[in-house]
Amino acid sequence: MRPPPSTLATERASLLAWFDAVARDLPWRRSRDPYAIWVSEVMLQQTRVDTVLRYFDRFLSRFPDPCALASASEDEVLSMWSGLGYYRRARLLHAGSKHLVAHHGGEVPQDPEARRAMPGVGRYTAGAIGSIAFDRPEAIVDGNVARVLSRLRGIDTPLGRADTEARLWAEADALVPGPRPGALNQALMELGATVCAHPTPRCADCPVAGGCVALRTGRTAELPVPKPRRAPRPVDVVAVVARQGRGVWMVRGQDALFGGLWGVPLDEGKGRAAAERALISAGLRGTLERRAQARLEHVLTHRRMDVRVFVAADAHPMGEGARWVDPDAPGDIGLSALTRKILAAAGPSGTASPPR
């Protein structure tokens, strides 16, 4: 049962006072620019704050507003995102900026429905922009907020389930109306990130511990109930570092994992035949080494990739589409973390530790 309005008001006041006292000084919190807040929220999806800190200012310096981002090429955008991961976010951010230029004069709209019509902007991102930039009473629920509300209200159904999500949003909607909705939302996120953490919360430091159902019933370790996850599927992959001089021929990935990024030819399989297939499928020819030069592991959300790295010498393209890249100075192209690992494993002269 939801607390009465007086209790909600007390919780809001406690959260805001706590946030004012202990909030981390993060660059996106120094701005009310809706574009900067949008960029930060997209970067922070499934990514640690410490990692985003290395990218945020640099990205905004290169693309200071939606018009600058919209006018950039996809390669430029992905280059600035390179290493941050989950590259679909960058492509949607790029598409969203073009949408703003085409439909809103290059400005992020105040209307929540117009914000949610932007590519890649869902209920959470729209609410973060609306509350923080425009001071609108729009709720948010991300992983940190879900953890706080699950413990605070004793929500014991699994995350990700429809009824759980509906309950979490209803609880967030009940808390957000009132003064400083943006700060209130940030307080919930900050609390989940720093105090109401997984797996062991620091309840003595929590500003709303007095009303926490999980603390009162001894269930802080049990809540929230995690969403069932499947283990990553093991996949054998070959990668071919196709050398010409000091550079490497790369192709643009087309699948959901690396679409839009440049990388070395990849294919599923283990041996030289799979490597030859990868090279030819990429429109390249070269003298392929008989055995893999190195072997590495790369884990994604749904795949555990066992990668054998082959090297092809004197490589050249058979048609259009490949791009010669100096690995030491790749320029304005996006390279995935996997591509960087493959190039490092192959070594500057094509030598590396042998496969296991």
Catalytic residue list: 41
Q: Which residues contact 27 (CB under 8 A, 6 or more apart)?
A: 40, 53, 56, 57
Q: Which residues contact 143 (CB under 8 A, 6 or more apart)?
A: 192
**9 conformational bin, left if phi > 0, alpha if psi -120 to 50, beta if neither:** alpha
Q: Are the C-beta atoms of 148 and 185 separated by less than 8 Å?
A: no
Amino acid, single-letter form, for residue 34: P
Could you give the 3-state DSSP secondary structure of residue 46?
coil
Q: Are the C-beta atoms of 232 and 304 separated by less than 8 Å?
A: yes
Spatial distance between the Cα atoms of 173 and 262, rounded to a whole number of angstroms:
42
Could you give the 3-state DSSP secondary structure of residue 49?
helix
Amino acid, single-letter form, for residue 122: G
Give buried/exposed letters for 289-316 (b at 16+ CB in 10 A, else e). Answer: beebbbbbebebeeeebbbbbbbbeebe
Amino acid, single-letter form, for residue 154: G
**CA distances for 157 relative to 141, 213, 219, 243, angstroms:** 16, 14, 13, 53
E-assigned strand segments in 256-349: 262-263, 266-268, 284-288, 294-299, 303-317, 323-325
Q: Which residues contact 176 (CB under 8 A, 6 or more apart)?
A: 131, 137, 138, 139, 184, 185
